[in-house]
Structure 1
Amino acid sequence: MRPLEGITILDLSRVLACPFATMILAEMGAEVIKVEQPGSGDETRSFEPFAQAEGGEEVSGYYMALNRSKRSITVNLRSEEGRAIIRDLAAKADVLVENFPVGTLKRRGLAYADLAPLNPGLIYVSCTGFGQSGPYARRKGYDTVFQAMSGLMSLTGERGGGPVKPGLPVADLTSGLWVAIAILSALQGRVRTGKGGHIDVSMFDAQVSQLTIAAARFFALGEVPPRLGTEHPGRVPSASFRCSDEKWLHITVSDQHWEPLCRSLGLDEMLADPELGTNSGRVARREEVMQGITSAMEKLTRAQAFAVLDGAGVPAGPLLSLDEVMADEHVRARGLVQRFEHPTLGEFPGLRSPLRFDGWEDPRFGRPPLLGEHTEEVLREHLGMDAARVAALREDGAL
């Protein structure tokens, strides 16, 4: 048994943040009913990259990365009969997740206030760019807009250079994690009260809340942190260093690692300097310390530098490219890449959940659904509809 078995999530969301959240919960055992637009489905079904089947059919890798282990139904929310289906499903669901622009579902009679009387235990999650209130509530935005406006992008980039976005959509991904946390918290709260509620998740808020240490420096020192590349503003050394073979190694050192670092790299003068034995002393003399380590690392290949530092117990790791990560022995040993059987692609790889349970079954690794694949069976199982009724709804354009 998986920990969320018996929980039903009605997922009206699209694209990345919320589908990522509901995939996490689906793989922990929840039944996630993904509601998609008839004909086209979630927009990401048309997003690159595409995997190509032998017959030439293309399937979005983007969609597959965020929608495993779900059931897909198609419902036309512009149809009154379609909206009635959503109301009926919500009346039986534990959770509803949506990321429509503020006010959209209210106009369609599917807001929390409309559905709560049908199901007082319903947990209704609205994830929008800027939240349900405030001067920006009706603004539109994407991952990079939230990165920019939250200050995250201002912290990312090389010294003296312009802002740089991270290589992954971190605003979407971390907002998805907050949505999952919100749902799990509300489910636990409902155990005590028997009542559901409405949760307002703002992707902008989520990014501002994650400024944490950068905000701490501002609150404590009045400092607006500069861009430092891979360096840490409050710890030295903590940075990536180029090695003689043009590969990079990242090193992060606390005081207890300073001596073995210096001995491993032959930095005898630095080791003999008592001021550099403390992090505060090294922060004050950042340029000197960084130059010394940089010069030492330039004489070693990445493999040599890692071997000597890891052997001395110094926290360090090679900066790996994506192909190196996928080939890494620890990634293979932990089974982080798994495969599902897709109806058109055959066997296809993906990244498993990082969670491992003792006492429950581990998260499942199911395939993503075809568009509308489960419409008839979900309506039969949850609403008692027969094939004739489903066919009539299709004919009327509700499905």
Structure 2
Amino acid sequence: MKPLEGVTVVELARVLACPFAGMILAELGARVIKVEQPGDGDETRGYEPFVRQAHENVDHLDEDAQAEALGRERSAYFYAFNRSKESITVNLRTTEGQEVVRKLACEADVILENFPVGTLKRYGLDWPKLKELNQRLLYVSCTGFGQTGPYASRKGYDTVFQAMSGIMSLTGEKDGGPVKPGIPVSDLSSGLWIALGIVSMLQGRQKEGVGAYLDFSMLDGQISLLALAAARYFALDEVPERLGTEHPGRVPSASFRCADGGYVHITGADQHWHPLCTLLGLESLRADPRLQHNSGRVLHRDEVMATLTDAIALMTRDQLCTACDAAGVPAGPLKTLDEVVVDPHLRARGVFADFEHPESGRFPAIQLPFQFNGYDNPTANRPPLLGEHTDQVLQDLGYNPQDIDALHRSGAV
């Protein structure tokens, strides 16, 4: 048994943050019904990269043309955030389609939506309307800036929230400009916040017996990630500067270039300072009374970092990692993705899996990072084909075959 078995989530959402949250819930056992627009569905079905066979050369085509050539069921982007769900197609602009969603809401535990503020209200599918049909319904609205406040009507994407939250201002080299992190931090963290909010609401409903509403702003979610940077600002009235891979309050804590061009990240506390100096042959640094405590090393950051950098540049990545492991100094190699996916430790823990897709064949997946004792672990099942479960879900809602055929003919589904 999985923790969320018996929970039904209706996902009126697209792109990344909410679909990621929905996938988390699905792989923890919830039944997640993804509602998509007939025709194209979630726009990420048309996002590259596309899974293709060896003989299919579409590199010369743009993204839309690749999607057309390969079909809209081969987007690895879509696969990454929509596993383990059911898909139905519903045209929310039709009265019949709106009625389908109302029937879903009557049976659902959770509605998860990321439409612009006011859109679902125009369709009669907002929280006040749907809670009249289901007093136990939990309803989550995810928007860029929330339902209230002067920015509520603005549009935004992951990098906009990174910029406006200050996250991007903290990222980059000391003497360079701001840098976007290599993954969509705002989208991914928002998905995690939303999943946490839903699990909290489910627990609250178990106690109170009634539904609830969550107004989640992706910008708010990014501000919550600033806890440590903000603590420094609140304490010292100091705007944090970009430090590259260095830590503002700990030395050493940085990535160092090795003799073979690889990098190793070392982070040490006071108890690691002497072992690190010894393995690098830096006895003068080891004995320096100014550097015995972290505060002194932070004060003399430039001197310490320059000396460590020169010494580490004489060792290969593997030599340094082996020496640090033997000395008990926390360190790890900076790995590229092709190295990560063959890491024996991750393989041993079952971090990677795969699923069989009817259009793409066997495709790899990254499992949710939960190793339960007492529940079944999450499993990565394939993402749905567009509208794959429409007729079955409609039958479950009480529509007969004639009703379903009429909905198809009218364009409502």
Return the TM-score normalized by structure 2.
0.95
> Which residue among 396, 399, 407 is the counterpart of 1:385?
399
Instruction: Tell me the equivalent position of 1:115.
Output: 130
State the match for 1:304 in structure 2.
319
Query: Is 1:104 paired with 2:119?
Result: yes
Match of 2:341 in 1: 326
* Alpha carbons 1:67, 1:369 under 8 Å: kept: yes
Does residue 317 of structure 1 match 2:332? yes
CA offsets 1:143-172 (integer angstroms, 9 cap, x no match): 000000000000000011000000000000
| Residue 213, structure 1, aligned to residue 213, structure 2 | no
- Aligned to 1:275, what secondary structure does the other structure show? helix
- What is the rounded CA distance, in whole Å, between the counterparts of 2:27 and 2:53 in structure 1? 25
> Are 1:398 and 2:412 counterparts?
yes
Write the distance in 1 (CA, Å) between the matches of 2:292 and 2:13.
Answer: 52
> How far apart are the structure 1 equivalents of 2:352 and 2:400?
40
Structure 1 range deviating more: 331-340 or 6-15: 331-340
- Aligned partner of 1:261: which letter? L
Where does residue 40 of structure 1 map in the other structure?
40
Partner of 1:128: 143
1:85 to 86, 100, 107: 100
Structure 1 letter corresponding to 2:124: G
SS, match of residue 249 in structure 1 = strand
Cα deviation code 1:214-266 (max 9, x no counterpart): 00000000010110000000000000000000110000011111111111111
Amino acid at match of 1:104: T
- State the shift of 1:387 in Å: 2.2
**Pairwise CA distance, 1:42:** 0.2
Q: CA–CA distance in 2 between the matches of 1:380 and 1:81? A: 15
The sequence identity of aligned pairs, in percent, is 62
Residue 269 of structure 1 corresponds to 284
Native 8 Å contact 1:54 1:345 kept in 2 = no
Query: What is the CA deviation profile of residues 61-100 of structure 1, one whole-angstrom value per residue up to 9, with x for unaligned ones?
Result: 0000000000000000000000000011101100000000
Q: 1:240 aligns with which of 255, 258, 275?
A: 255
Deviations 1:365-390 (A, max 9, x none): 11000000000111112x12222211
Report 1:1-399 matches (<5 A): 1-53=1-53, 57-58=70-71, 59-381=74-396, 383-399=397-413
The AA in structure 2 aligned to 1:395 is R
Distance across 1 between alignment mates of 2:401 and 2:208? 38
TM-score (norm 1): 0.98
Q: For residues 321-370 of structure 1, give each alpha carbon's deviation from its aligned partner in whole angstroms, at most 9, with x where no partner exists.
A: 11111121112212212110101111111111111111111012110000
Aligned to 2:66: none
Distance 2:314 2:237 in 1: 39
1:106-162 CA-partner distances (Å, limit 9, x unpaired): 111100011011001100000000000000000000000000000000000001100
CA distance, structure 1, for counterparts of residue 361 and residue 387 of structure 2: 19
Secondary structure in 1 matching 2:51: strand
Give the conservation status (yes or no) of the 8 Å contact 1:53–1:344: no
**Any idea what SS the aligned residue of 2:341 has?**
helix
Measure the CA separation in 1 of the matches of 2:228 and 2:28.
31
Cα distance, 1:55 vs structure 2: 9.0
Letter in 2 for 1:189: G
Alpha-carbon distance in 1 for matches of 2:398, 2:275: 69
Q: Secondary structure at the match of 1:82?
A: helix
C-alpha separation in 1, matches of 2:281 and 2:401: 77
- Find the aligned partners of 1:388 and 1:353 in 2 and give their Cα distance: 41
- CA distance, structure 1, for counterparts of residue 373 and residue 232 of structure 2: 39
Letter in 2 for 1:363: P
Q: Secondary structure at the match of 1:50?
A: coil
Residue 167 of structure 1 aligns to a residue whose secondary structure is coil
Looking at structure 2, the residues matched to 360 and 384 of structure 1 have their Cα atoms a distance apart, in angstroms, of 33
Provide structure 2 residue ranges, at least 5 long, that are not aligned to the other structure: 57-69
User: How far apart in 2 are the matches of 1:267 and 1:342?
Assistant: 55
CA–CA distance in structure 2, aligned partners of residues 222 and 90 of structure 1? 48
2: distance between equivalents of 1:285 and 1:363?
47
Separation in structure 2 between the aligned mates of residue 395 and residue 54 of structure 1, nearest angstrom: 38
**Backbone CA RMSD of aligned residues:** 1.0
Deviation of 1:310 after TM superposition, in Å, equals: 1.0
Shift of 1:54: 7.5
Runs of 4+ in structure 1 off by over 2 angstroms are 53-58
Give unpaired runs (5+ residues) of structure 1. none
Structure 2 residue identity aligned to 1:186: M
- Partners of 1:319 and 1:114 in 2: CA distance: 51
- Over 3 Å counting, the alpha-carbon distance change for 1:54 and 1:92 in structure 2 is farther
CA distance in 1, matches of 2:232, 2:373: 39
Q: Distance in 2 between matches of 1:179 and 1:38?
A: 26
**How far has the Cα of 1:53 moved from its partner?**
4.8
C-alpha separation in 1, matches of 2:399 and 2:122: 27
Query: Residue by residue, what CA displacement relative to the aligned partner does 1:281-336 show, whole Å, maximum 9, x if unpaired?
Result: 00000001101110110100001111111110000000001111112111221221
